[in-house]
Chain A
Amino acid sequence: MPSAIIIGSGPAGSITAHELAQNGWDVTVVERGRNLRPGFGEKPSSELETLYSSDEVKSSRHFGFPHPNLEPQVGRSQAEAADGVERSQYGAHQSLGSAVGGTSLHYNAKFPRFWRQDFTMLSDSGPIDGAQVADWPITYEELEPFYDEVEHTIGVQGDTEQMPQFVLDQTPRSRNYPMPPNPTGYAARLMAAGAQTVGYNPFPYPSAVNSREFDGRPACNSCGMCSSFGCPINARGDALTSYLNPAVLTGQVRVIERAHVFKIHTNAAGDTATEIEYYDEDHVAHRLSADKIIIAGSPIQTARLLLLSANDQHPNGLGNGSDQVGRNMMFHYFIIGGAEFSYDVQTLRAQSTTVEVDDLVGPFTDPLATLQGVPYFKGGLIQVGSGLPLMSEAYFYAGLGIPHGAPHKAAMTTSLGRQRIGGIQFVGEDLPQANNRVDLDPSMRDWHGLPIARVTYSPHAHEKAAALYFAPRLEAMCLAAPGAVAAVVLPQPTISDHPSNTAHHAGTARMGNDPATSVCDAQGRLHECQNVHVVDGSLFPTFPGFNPTLTILANALRIARGITQGGV
């Protein structure tokens, strides 16, 4: 029986475990987080319990996330790196979830596909100075059957009948979504009307959220507490319920919790991995071996593990002969916008976001960009209609500098930021840059004593130019919402030289056909180590402006099927 070790139990790891188990593989999944779904591995997914709830205190206390006391995340800008600053950011920013099921336990489950043009950006639109723009080694058409399979397994709501033709043309599909859309939130309807007024084309946001009972799990009741909350009623599709738990129930898969893999060992020639080594929660090291080693740690942690696995044959990190491991770290940037209303527009009553607008995906050319040396730029989708829960609202005012005492009470009573703002978030494409990279911090350690990952990042002129172009359009769209009395937007890349606070990560082990410029081949296999595959978002050569989880799942499924059927 062939065997595999999968490092990380998020979407990429879970779907890979499921596919391998279906084909008779013996699979061990190693996960640094804990299980938060009682009944996991024992009961069918429709009967799983949860430790999550609509509890803002709990989510503010790193529930399901790494704790910064034990696993801090650090970062700095490119300019700071050039000045020799070791790190300027410290805390939990950009830490993805660590739990069995990964970040999919508390994601928003927005499930757009990438567009056909995204796979051929270099060929279609050409290079951009200072960025490593690349084609994907696969086409949209190769990925399409896997998009379809994931949508119908995990359960996605949407409606092709209500999607603009130009979106369908870029995302050809064989059939409609398995579920119709949920009710559209009132605030989202206001903002969608604004989008229509300026000529844009809003449509129902595809989401892995049940609008009716699906796979034994109930329909969403529109509580609104999605982002950073686990779904208390099991209405949201995720990697654990749809893939990992069913995989464990086959008896072919075991999951080791709170196990932190810190090294992949190779044979003397360096071309084959022999073992992985992990620490348990008592800091005791254990070794495991298998035919295949599958890495699914998410981009920052996947790069960290490859770098930690340096040995004589791989002196710069496992599979890093190209010096591309850790480079091309990409974060979507967000332009947050909002329209102010004179009354409560009930932003929290609806699943996280119910309306999508794709009119600003691009590519565009504009004198603004040409002046900055950028020949063209791409944007992304607009998430329309979402709100802040109450405690976040209070922190937001405090962080803006509204003082304690009477001003705080007045702000909370007026509640401009929660009750009276219809929100949008534009998700912008971030270009891959060699100097946006993950490396090992020279001195900071995690609770096992291992070097932590350090992220060096700054936006490219492409993102700054794009943000300047999009901001006034987004502001106008907000102002056009019926009844809007004012609007404001925050074009992140022009405000800060650091990444947005986002869970959308990609790059660091890009796939490509040329071993000199990529880390993995089209099957996710390290060019330099024949039985190690990367299957997560680290593989993405570019990062189009769409929520990435569906594409992470579909691409991992494609690779896993290649492993089981093609013998790769």
Chain B
Amino acid sequence: MPKTDLRRRRALQTGGAAAITATMALPGCGNSPNTTDSPVSGPGINPPDNPTVAAKYLNQKQYDSLEALLDRLIPEDISPGATTARCVDHIDAFLAAFETSPAFIYAGAPYSDRGGHPTNEFQRFIPLDKYEEIAWRTTIEGSQGIPEREMNGPIVGLQQIYDEGLAHLDSRAQQQGAECFADLSAAQRDLIINDPSDAAVASFVGTVFGEAIKGMYGAPEYQGNQNFAGWGFTNYDGDVHPRGYSDEQVVNADNPGLFDALLPASYHEGAANKSAQATKPGEFNPPKSLSRKTTSFPVIGSADEMSFLIASSGGDINQLKKLMQNYRNFLQKQEAV
């Protein structure tokens, strides 16, 4: 298969999406129709038997306010943002997860139709067992005084968090004379969501941003990332099974680097390499004044570590920032050196 086949396909699709976005005004305050029709492309082309159809939790006013918030968290600019991706539908479907059967928590497996499989099995969600249902009902609905949901105290559910958070945004908008948050201009909304004196907003924004990331960059079967809005400008191939990558695509860069001739051959070719003769470990003492070049924007993470951090934060950005405080301190120190 041609190396860039996947990417070219995605680029075409997101190009189309961008054109649509340009003419898409943000919905007003509870009076515009939902824009939740089937996406232009993407999932739905080759559905499996009994695809799970997302439900809705938010009323129209809440939906519009949430969309107006998401538009500021992942804005449309030269590339698509949360509006094109329909992050609002991702979150709405998640809040209504227990209105569908199976619950709208875990997309199906093992393949979508994006990597050469004839049907999209992600579209039929996985039935939860009792443990998973209690755990996720607690997350979404709250513990509600049910003993096995609150062994360590009450847990406020996401539905309540969104109800209160969106109502709060609307009340802030009303202080400015608007009817609801969605009626404010982008600049007015930015002032509210970045208001350091409003702890309720800061907390809610951390929760919403975390879920918006899933809606923007996760699989489109969760209702976000429509038209692959999140996988286009990021040059991301998404799930590639069952096709995967050819040996050539693994070993070499699509756009060769200047120094590729200096690189060791791929080990699968069985090429003898000089390491095999080494009888003792290499010794290397970095010079005392290592001419260090720390990245101007120092970022580095490992997949293993991030999966623990994301899980531990519950996907909430404020929690995640707390968990990564030590990283931030260290990297800021490095940058200062």
Contact = CB atoms under 8 A, between A and B. Distances in A.
B331 A488 contact: yes
Interface in B283-337: 283-284, 286, 290, 292-315, 317, 319-321, 323-324, 326-331, 334
Nearest to B291: A479
B82 to A, nearest CB: 10
A152 B323 CA distance: 41
Contact of A344 (B255, B264, B275, B284): B255
A228 interface: yes
Interface of B: 72-75, 77, 79, 81, 105-112, 121-122, 126, 129-132, 134-136, 138-139, 148-149, 151-152, 155, 190, 193-194, 205, 209-210, 213-214, 216-219, 222, 230-231, 233-245, 247, 249-255, 257-259, 262-268, 270-284, 286, 290, 292-315, 317, 319-321, 323-324, 326-331, 334
B233 A413 contact: yes
Given A53-B111, A184-B268, A482 B300 contact: no
A180 B268 contact: yes
A404 B238 CA distance: 23
A189 B251 contact: yes
B307 to A, nearest CB: 4
Contact of B290 (A334, A417, A472, A482): A472
Contacts of A337: 300
28 contacts: A55-B107, A57-B214, A58-B107, A68-B312, A69-B155, A70-B134, A91-B312, A92-B311, A93-B323, A161-B276, A165-B279, A181-B267, A189-B263, A200-B284, A222-B244, A222-B249, A222-B250, A223-B239, A336-B305, A341-B257, A390-B236, A398-B210, A400-B324, A409-B74, A415-B235, A421-B300, A443-B152, A489-B300
A211 to B, nearest CB: 7
Interface stretch (A240-248, A309-317, A354-362, A523-531): A354-362
Contacts of B105: 61
Main secondary structure of the interface of A (DSSP, over half): loop
Interface in A465-485: 472-473, 475-477, 479, 482-483, 485
Contacts of B134: 69-70, 447
Interface residues of A, number: 151
A554 interface: no
B123 to A, nearest CB: 12
A390 B234 contact: yes
Contacts of A108: 304
Nearest to A389: B303
Interface in A167-188: 169, 180-186
A340 B331 CA distance: 15
Nearest to B292: A475
B129 A190 contact: no
Nearest to A228: B307
A490 B330 contact: yes
A224 B243 CA distance: 12
Contacts of B278: 164-166, 201
A371 interface: no
B236 A203 contact: no
A326 to B, nearest CB: 21
A454 interface: no
Contacts of B297: 414, 416
B218 A186 contact: no
Given A190-B263, A398-B320, A413-B233, 14 more contacts: A56-B219, A65-B311, A162-B267, A228-B307, A233-B242, A336-B300, A346-B254, A398-B321, A399-B323, A409-B74, A477-B284, A486-B294, A501-B312, A502-B304
A82 interface: no
Interface string A506-542: 0000000000000000000000000000000000000
Given A60-B311, A354-B267, A408-B74, A34 B247 contact: no
